[in-house]
Structure 1
Amino acid sequence: MLLIEIVFKIAYYLLYFYMLCLIITGILSLVGANPSNPLVGFLNALTSPPCRFITRKFPKLIVRSQHGFYDLSPIVLILIVGCLMIIVQTVANHLGFYV
């Protein structure tokens, strides 16, 4: 029983970490951070593949504005990760584990 609880906690906190990475990447893209920075490169390598996949499947998520183009796929990915966190937490609670 203890191993299952640890698996749920690890899954929940990995999803939480990924959501934080998505939020930080979004903020850094608005600020215009230097892509040669190792932290920015790590965050881009972590978050870019799923965002590109979502953009390929739903090309209308790229919105044109006066200042250029905005990609809304990180927002969709944040919502998906948030839903997965809720699912993990709900399943763990129904099994009697605290996450």
Structure 2
Amino acid sequence: MILIEILLKITYYLLYFYMLCLIITGILSLVGANPSNPLVGFLNALTSPPCRYVVRKFPKLIVRSQHGFYDLSPIVLILAVGCLMIIVQTIANHLGFFV
């Protein structure tokens, strides 16, 4: 049972880390951070493949404005990761574990 608790906690915290990466990437894209920065490159490498997949499935998520284009796919991914975190937490609570 301890192995299940450890796996649930690792899963939950990995999802939490990924959500933070998505939030930071969204903020950095609005600010216009330098893509040659190693931290920005790492975050883009981590978050852009799922974002591209979401944009391919839902092309209306790229919104055009006067200043350029805004990609709303990180918001969709943040919501999806949040739902997965709730699911993992609910499973852990039903098994009697605290996540």
TM-score normalised according to structure 2 size: 0.98
| CA RMSD after TM alignment | 0.5
Matched to 1:96, the amino acid is G
Q: Deviations over 1:57-94 (max 9, x none)?
A: 00011111111111100000000000000000000100
**1:33 corresponds to 2:33:** yes
Please give the residue correspondences for 1:1-99 in structure 2 after superposition, counting only pairs within 5 Å: 1-99=1-99
The 2-side partners of 1:26 and 1:72 are apart by: 9
- Provide Cα deviations, 1:22-53, integer angstroms capped at 9, x if missing partner: 00001111111110010000000000000000
Q: Which moved more, 1:77-86 or 1:62-71?
A: 62-71
Aligned residue type for 2:93? N
AA at the equivalent of 1:54: V
- Measure the CA separation in 2 of the matches of 1:2 and 1:79: 29
- In the TM superposition, what is the alpha-carbon distance from 1:10 to its structure 2 partner? 0.1
Q: Which amino acid aligns with 1:95?
A: L
CA distance in 1, matches of 2:5, 2:30: 38
Q: Which segments of 5 or more consecutive residues in structure 1 lack a partner in the other structure?
A: none
Quote the Cα distance in structure 2 between the aligned partners of 1:35 and 1:72: 19
Please report the TM-score for the alignment, with normalisation by the length of structure 1. 0.98
